[in-house]
Chains A and B, each alone.
Chain A
Amino acid sequence: MSACLRLNPIACEAHGECAELLPELIRLDDWGYPIIDESEVPPELLGLARRAVDFCPTLALVLDED
């Protein structure tokens, strides 16, 4: 079981909620758009990652779990 964060950059409108909720894996660039660590989400951050996905106002952030 592994999970990776992925962003639909067309849908993203730089609300920045994700970086607030998950600064461990997401920071913002100079224009407020998220730079996401797309490697595997460590198990201890999975809960926060799901929360960041849930809070994205444009549903641009997804967690690919398999």
Chain B
Amino acid sequence: MSGWLEGHPGLPRLLAGLDQSGGPMTLAEHSQVHGELPHRSADELIDSIERSGLRGRGGADFPTAVKLRAVASARRVSAVVVNGSETEPASAKDRLLLSRIPHLVLDGAMLAAMAVGAPEVVVHVGDSTASSLAALEGAVSVRPNDPVPVQLVTAPAGYVAGEESAVMHFLNGGASLPTFVPPRPFQRGFRNRPTLIQNPETLAQVALVARFGEHWYRELGTTADPGSALVTITGAVAAPGVYELAFGTPITDLLEAAGGPAEALRALLVGGYFGTWVEASRATALRLAREDLRSVGCSLGSGVLIALGESQCGLHESARVIDYLARQSAQQCGPCTYGLRAIADSVDALASGRAGDHERDRVLRWVGEVRGRGACHHPDGAVRFVASALSVFGKEIEAHRRGRCNARPAGFPVGGVTVRDAVGGRARNAVGGRRR
């Protein structure tokens, strides 16, 4: 399912022209909906992006213009990488963009390549997304006038494979494992060039700002968070899917866009598996805005909102998710390898009611000790998730200790290959095999 908040003025933007047929928009349909791509000089485009206030949509919320300018100002040949790996199990927005609206993403990638002076674009496409790859291959083949060539690369599976240093390492011929940073990609990335790496949604937004300008972009959203965003809304809602919403929209309206809650809600997981649990009563008072989310210790992350019903057990789901995140560790750094495993086992003990009196305190100590000690932010996201679960599901911990939880499992997706399964086999890559 995909859509937007019906009746909201100014929407849809990214999803304009998308029908429910399931196929990719053709170049003709795309041009009819959005118009031709205007010519903008590098400075014009970057200035316009800066005034638009656009921030990256991959999870870090970093100002896009700052990244563009950092790569553009390097006095070396640069590169543009589209990070479409989307390894967050609950997220579906990148898949939607790449498989249904590939031309908007490619427009943005071309504009970015022009702005930073990159001689080619690499699109790193998620492993499980054959439809994205097919749509992109089709789209690239009908764009002979693009200024630079596009290379499509299938990303290996595994949660950390989408982390940007892991993407760089993989594209440079290594395993899809995070590396010690700095250097960051903008300093030394693809083929050691200064590299702009962006999420597909960010580039699709760039393509819209280039066409319609920063004033148009700011007609939606708030001053601090202008524009629209794609949010994957899932869990206990009637119509789970990817929805385009204006920043500033109340969370209750987000849930309505997805058909409304399927039952009374217990909590919301904001930001995906690296995100934060918030009690439903607090969450529904918030808007989709960084300042609101920050006030309860959240960020939108990769744009995922998971609703948990009153009849579902958040402690049980949290134990499954932290176990998943522990398994998804690249197992390169000790605190992540051993710390997340120990934390996951303890949360499992809490969830199964066999934990001792001090288990919760021990987990909280580990949470504090593990944070910030990996080469990448995998352990940080995982412990943030755990800390919020222990704080929101305190009542459940007590109920499980007494053997009195009647809630049922909610079945959050936690399956799939780990990066460690993949490394040694397919994770070794040779860029160039798929040059177009």
Where the two chains meet, the residues of A that have a C-beta atom closer than 8 Å to any C-beta of B are 7-14, 29-33, 35
Q: Which residues of A contact B332 (CB under 8 A)?
A: 9-10
Q: Which residues of A contact B334 (CB under 8 A)?
A: 9, 12-14, 29, 31-33
Per the bound structure, the CA–CA distance linking A57 and B332 in Å amounts to: 17
B339-350 vs A, CB cutoff 8 Å, 1 = contact: the mask equals: 100100000000
Instruction: State whether B375 touches A29 (Cβ < 8 A).
Output: no
Per the bound structure, the CA–CA distance linking A30 and B368 in Å amounts to: 13
Query: Smallest Cβ distance from B71 to chain A, in angstroms?
Result: 25
Q: Which residues of A contact B333 (CB under 8 A)?
A: 9-10, 12
Per the bound structure, the CA–CA distance linking A9 and B336 in Å amounts to: 10
Instruction: State whether B366 touches A10 (Cβ < 8 A).
Output: no
Per the bound structure, the CA–CA distance linking A14 and B366 in Å amounts to: 17
29 sampled A-B residue pairs with Cβ under 8 A: A8-B180, A8-B375, A9-B180, A9-B333, A9-B334, A9-B336, A9-B374, A10-B179, A10-B180, A10-B332, A11-B180, A12-B333, A12-B334, A29-B334, A29-B335, A29-B339, A29-B370, A30-B338, A30-B366, A30-B369, A31-B334, A31-B339, A31-B342, A32-B334, A33-B334, A33-B335, A33-B373, A35-B369, A35-B373
Known: A14-B334, A33-B335. A9 touches B373 (CB 8 A): yes
Query: Smallest Cβ distance from A27 to chain B, in angstroms?
Result: 10
Q: Which residues of B contact A33 (CB under 8 A)?
A: 334-335, 338, 373
Query: Smallest Cβ distance from B368 to chain A, in angstroms?
Result: 10
Instruction: State whether B373 touches A10 (Cβ < 8 A).
Output: no
Majority DSSP secondary structure for residues of B touching A: helix
Query: Smallest Cβ distance from A37 to chain B, in angstroms?
Result: 12
Query: Smallest Cβ distance from B296 to chain A, in angstroms?
Result: 28
Q: Which residues of B contact A12 (CB under 8 A)?
A: 333-334
Query: Smallest Cβ distance from B379 to chain A, in angstroms?
Result: 9
Q: Which residues of B contact A8 (CB under 8 A)?
A: 180, 375
Nearest neighbor of A33 in chain B, beta-carbon distance: B334
Known: A8-B375, A12-B333, A14-B334; 4 extra A-B contacts, CB below 8 A, are: A9-B373, A9-B374, A12-B334, A35-B369
Q: Which residues of B contact A30 (CB under 8 A)?
A: 338, 342, 366, 369
Q: Which residues of A contact B366 (CB under 8 A)?
A: 30
Instruction: State whether A9 touches B342 (Cβ < 8 A).
Output: no
Per the bound structure, the CA–CA distance linking A11 and B332 in Å amounts to: 8
Q: Which residues of B contact A14 (CB under 8 A)?
A: 334
Q: Which residues of B contact A31 (CB under 8 A)?
A: 334-335, 338-339, 342
Q: Which residues of B contact A11 (CB under 8 A)?
A: 180
Query: Smallest Cβ distance from A45 to chain B, in angstroms?
Result: 21
Per the bound structure, the CA–CA distance linking A29 and B335 in Å amounts to: 8
| Residue from the set B333, B336, B366 with the largest chain A CB neighbour count within 10 Å | B333
Query: Smallest Cβ distance from B356 to chain A, in angstroms?
Result: 16
Per the bound structure, the CA–CA distance linking A33 and B335 in Å amounts to: 7
Query: Smallest Cβ distance from B363 to chain A, in angstroms?
Result: 12
Closest 9 CB pairs of A and B: A33-B334, A9-B333, A31-B338, A10-B332, A8-B180, A10-B375, A9-B375, A29-B369, A10-B180
Per the bound structure, the CA–CA distance linking A30 and B370 in Å amounts to: 10
Q: Which residues of B contact A9 (CB under 8 A)?
A: 180, 332-336, 373-375
Query: Smallest Cβ distance from B93 to chain A, in angstroms?
Result: 31
Per the bound structure, the CA–CA distance linking A45 and B336 in Å amounts to: 29
Per the bound structure, the CA–CA distance linking A10 and B329 in Å amounts to: 12
B351-387 vs A, CB cutoff 8 Å, 1 = contact: the mask equals: 0000000000000001001100111000000000000
